[in-house]
Amino acid sequence: MALLEVNNLDVRFALRGGDVRALRDVCFTLDRGERLGIVGESGAGKSVAAFSLLNLIAKPGYIAGGSIIFDGKELSGMKDRGLRRVRGNRISMIFQDPMMTLNPVLSIGEQMVESLKAHRRISTREARAIALHKLNQVQIPSPETRLDQYPHELSGGMRQRVIIAIALLLDPDIIIADEPTTALDVTIQAEIMDLLLELCDKHNVGLVLITHDLGVVSQVTQRMLVMYAGRVIEQGPTREIINGPQHPYTQGLINALPQMATPGSRLNQIPGSMPSLSNLPSGCAFHPRCGFVNDANGAPRKACLDKVPGFVDSGNCRVACHMVAELVNQQQRDSREEVL
């Protein structure tokens, strides 16, 4: 059984005009030591997905349905007391902005000791020793002095290293990293990603990496989910999706990257922009921007306009698209005829 299993997760925000469905039918699994990428543009729901795993969604958001099973236990309905044993301890998080995550009025050491003592019965001296060890692991120069420094005395890259040290402090099973390198420069980003990978491998920690950067996902993760307007629209092994995306949105997203076009030529843009979650188009949420909405006869496919597409298995990937479903059915029919 997978370490983490998310089934039909449904998250809503209760707003004055009625509920806004920020996530619907999100399903995925994560094995021990596996690295999963969640990709999407802003507003796709990738951060909500990550936050809801630990029930960290603030009001008016709430989990309206579905299950999150971690190590055999259901997390979605759990009380705060039970969740506290999981949060930071078994599943820890790394956020985007290291300056916002660290408490500016506590020294690095105090913050590390604090979270150790919250979960384990140990003395401050022991906690400091563990903290020092973890700072060493994330390759911070002169960790003894860093322990007594405050976050503002460190550079952005160093702060993110401290955050990673804190995330690893209690030897968690899963780290959820929400855009961990977006605020950093490319050379620092490469170093931090290397470090995170190395540590996850060494300690057999699962990683859920949330990012909008397809380059990072393709280099770091083994499997990936692509999200659009609150739904997962494609999931599967990272290499297969990057090399052969099937959903028109994933295709568009990858083809829109400047590195996919010859320098100086026009980029393959996706027309329009992501719809607002409170006002989703009918049927497939992507259909107004989709280049494949028309069928062979040139008329818009009725299913695309009316029916929310379900998942079909296509190769090793699962894709939520009527066009792909048609292709898969066609292939199955063809192969059956061949057998006959």
Partner 1 sequence: MTAAVSQHDPKASAATAGNREQDTAAPLMEIRHLHKRFSLSGDFLEQLKFKSGKLIREQEYVHAINGIDLDIRRGEALCVVGESGCGKSTVARTVMGLLAPSQGEIRYEGQRIDNLSTKELLPYRRRMQMIFQNPYASLNPRMTIQQTLEEPIRLHHPDWSKERVRDQVRDVMDSVGIDSDWGPRFGHEFSGGQRQRIAIARALAVDPEFIVADEPISALDVSIQAQVLNLMMEAQQQRNLTYLFITHDLAVVEHFGTRVAVMYLGMVCELAPTGTLFAKPRHPYTQALLSAIPRLEDDRPQHIRLQGEVPTPVNLPSGCVFHGRCPHANERCRKEVPTLIDVEDGARVACHGVEEGRL
Q: Binding to partner 1 by residue 267, rule CB under 8 A?
A: yes
Q: How far is the CB of 220 from partner 1 (least distance, A)?
A: 8
List strands edge to edge, sheet with 73-74. 18-30, 4-15, 61-70, 73-74
Type of residue at 107: S
Phi, psi angles (nearest 5°) of residue 160: -65, -30
Per-residue binder mask for partner 1 (CB under 8 A), 111-150, x = binder:
----------------------------------------
Q: Binding to partner 1 by residue 187, rule CB under 8 A?
A: yes
Q: How far is the CB of 340 from partner 1 (least distance, A)?
A: 39
Residue of 3, 86, 254, 317 interacting with partner 1 (CB under 8 A): 254
Q: How far is CA 94 from the centre of its chain?
A: 11
Per-residue binder mask for partner 1 (CB under 8 A), 271-300, x = binder:
x-xx--------------------------
Q: Which residue has the tokens 């309905």?
A: 77
Q: Which residue has the tokens 């090793």?
A: 316
- Using DSSP bridges, classify how beta strands 206-211 and 35-39 pair: parallel, antiparallel or unpaired: parallel
Q: How far is the CB of 72 from partner 1 (least distance, A)?
A: 34
Residue of 48, 91, 232, 253 interacting with partner 1 (CB under 8 A): 253
Of 41, 45, 23, 24, the residue nearest 273 (C-alpha): 41
- Cα dihedral sign, 64-16-45-200: negative
Length of the chain: 340
Task: Report the site for partner 1 in 6-25 (rule: CB under 8 A).
Answer: none
Q: How far is the CB of 153 from partner 1 (least distance, A)?
A: 12
Residue of 17, 72, 104, 264 interacting with partner 1 (CB under 8 A): 264
Contact, 286 vs 292, CB < 8 A?
A: no
Q: How far is the CB of 278 from partner 1 (least distance, A)?
A: 14
Of 121, 108, 18, the residue nearest 64 (C-alpha): 18
Residue of 41, 110, 114, 240 interacting with partner 1 (CB under 8 A): 41
Q: Which residue's CB is nearer to partner 1, number 190 or number 308?
A: 190
Residue of 256, 305, 308, 327 interacting with partner 1 (CB under 8 A): 256
Tokens standing for 224? Answer: 């990936």
Largest CA distance in the chain: 75
Contact, 148 vs 107, CB < 8 A?
A: yes
**What is the full DSSP assignment across 154-215?**
S-HHHHHHHHHHHHHTT--SEEEEESTTTTS-HHHHHHHHHHHHHHHHHHT-EEEEEES-HH
Residue of 168, 270, 277, 324 interacting with partner 1 (CB under 8 A): 270
Q: How far apart are the first and last CA of the chain?
A: 38
Stretch that binds partner 1, among 4-12, 215-223, 290-298, 317-325 (CB under 8 A): 215-223
Q: How far is the CB of 43 from partner 1 (least distance, A)?
A: 8
Residue of 31, 71, 213, 295 interacting with partner 1 (CB under 8 A): 213
Contact, 235 vs 226, CB < 8 A?
A: yes
List of residues contacting partner 1 (CB under 8 A): 41-42, 155, 157-158, 185-191, 193-194, 212-216, 218-219, 239, 242-243, 252-254, 256-259, 261, 263-264, 266-271, 273-274
